[in-house]
Chains A and B, each alone.
Chain A
């Protein structure tokens, strides 16, 4: 899609700048707020550049021992995302590539999981976690995290796999390769764009997940980042600049994951065979 003539180009750039401001402004606002002192923020909460910028919020964030929250979040998020990618890819294979009677019902059963309002599941899952003896540990989150990431992941992967050309596995079937080999050696490498999407989606969801963590964890040592951020809230106040500093730091891993995942899409495609 090449845009050749000038008026079109101008329109394109107006559009680009419009979207750029719309999407970028609040993020820049967050960063600039994180460099304001409490007083500076109250004197002028709206400006991007106030007279005095300070690093004190960042030192507050480090002083309050955000490290352990950060580590906990990283462990549970990475572990859950890896398992979700593998488990959902496994399940999507028969759902999209093998015809059997239960295709549709099973698929619908799985994606029905997307429709459950999370708050409705809190009490059953609280009871379940207690009965399993996992309450108050980081492991308590693994089950709900995987379960609530699965439906959308299976949905995206099944749709994506269903669109891949049939010829991909035919040669392998000719050689009598079993399903595992077809799945793992032939299809899986071609899933890069879809996997990239679900990695980004799930990483973000789990990285900021609050409700399950609040319900299942009360021990400071097992708390994840979103729980730790509550320290910025007083009974009737919020330390806005401090919270923003913590959130700026918290967004770094997500940006990294996003960039890596997106790079992989491009790489996977130049080397892969999806282009068929």
Chain B
């Protein structure tokens, strides 16, 4: 038998005979845990979203899509959604590029890379409680360090978190600061995976370092950029902690996002049904966004753009 026939036979065997069982065995553990702890709550959430359900009294009544109708007429919801969209945009267009820059710096020939590697990562490893408390102090209008810098630069004093017009910006800076290192790690993992031969070939062709970046590094990073975008979109749609701790959605509802709004409706106002509706809508928006990103990625691969 020729080599290629054996290969083909084995591949065929793999494709037909054992496939469905092997696939199942590989996927089963994940599927079991997933179905019990994730899928069931998702379905329960959609189920609850159809109820007028008071979390305290436990009295619930089926109201169909009434919660959804109310939600779409709720101006606080739209305000929260708008803030969330801002968060998504900032995550994709500032956090990811910043993460990339940080990763590239770590691959350039600067001194003390090992130290930089750890220091760049520090924001991401600090717990959100610490971040919330410390940044509120850093933003302090009375002699806080950030205002000192702003005054030094001639920008003047700001009330940051206390000012409804600036609070969202202030929170966004913290979020960028906190999550960029995560994308840095993703990019680092991708950059080390780029075959050295590609750079060597480029060098032989006389490519400058800028050219190397645009013709070798960047194309190789596109899959990572795509998955980072998915993570950024999903992560910022359901984000909660940092805003809850830093501003609680205030002042007024200047920094309200869907996560904090859902929390308030559910655990403060005790409207469990309505809170579930917000959760369901968050889920649907994230799902649609991810499907769109995946679709664009699929088309890109098919057409061979970039790669």
Contacts and interface: CB of A to CB of B under 8 A. Distances in A.
Nearest to A127: B44
A94 B189 contact: no
A255 B181 CA distance: 13
A173 B189 contact: no
Contact of A265 (B19, B105, B188, B267): B188
B217 A119 contact: no
Nearest to B102: A19
A250 B38 contact: no
Interface stretch (B66-74, B89-97, B151-159, B192-200): B192-200
Contacts of A24: 119, 122
Nearest to A258: B121
Interface in B118-139: 118-131, 133-135, 137-138
B188 A259 contact: no
Interface string A1-35: 11110000000110110011011111101100100
A94 B193 contact: no
Interface in A163-215: 163, 170, 173-174, 176, 178-180, 183, 193-194, 196-197, 200-201, 204, 208
Contacts of B212: 1
Q: How many A residues are at the interface, by size bracket?
A: 35 or more
A275 B291 CA distance: 31
A110 B138 CA distance: 40
Given A148-B37, A148-B38, A179-B22, A118 B117 contact: no
Contact of B240 (A117, A154, A197): A117
Contacts of A119: 240, 259, 262-263, 266-267, 275, 279
A15 B97 CA distance: 14
23 contacts: A1-B209, A16-B110, A23-B122, A23-B123, A26-B122, A90-B29, A90-B30, A93-B26, A94-B22, A113-B38, A115-B238, A115-B286, A123-B48, A143-B37, A146-B37, A155-B231, A159-B227, A163-B193, A174-B7, A193-B190, A204-B125, A229-B129, A266-B192
Given A120-B41, A178-B18, 14 more contacts: A3-B109, A91-B30, A93-B26, A98-B14, A100-B19, A111-B230, A119-B262, A119-B267, A151-B38, A193-B192, A197-B185, A247-B127, A247-B129, A262-B117
Interface of B: 3, 6-7, 10-11, 14-15, 18-20, 22-23, 26-27, 29-31, 33-34, 36-42, 44-45, 48, 101-102, 104-105, 107-110, 116-131, 133-135, 137-138, 140, 143-145, 177, 181-182, 185-186, 188-190, 192-193, 195-197, 209, 212-213, 217, 223-224, 226-227, 230-231, 234-235, 237-238, 240, 258-259, 262-263, 266-267, 272, 275-276, 279-280, 282-283, 286-287, 290-291, 294
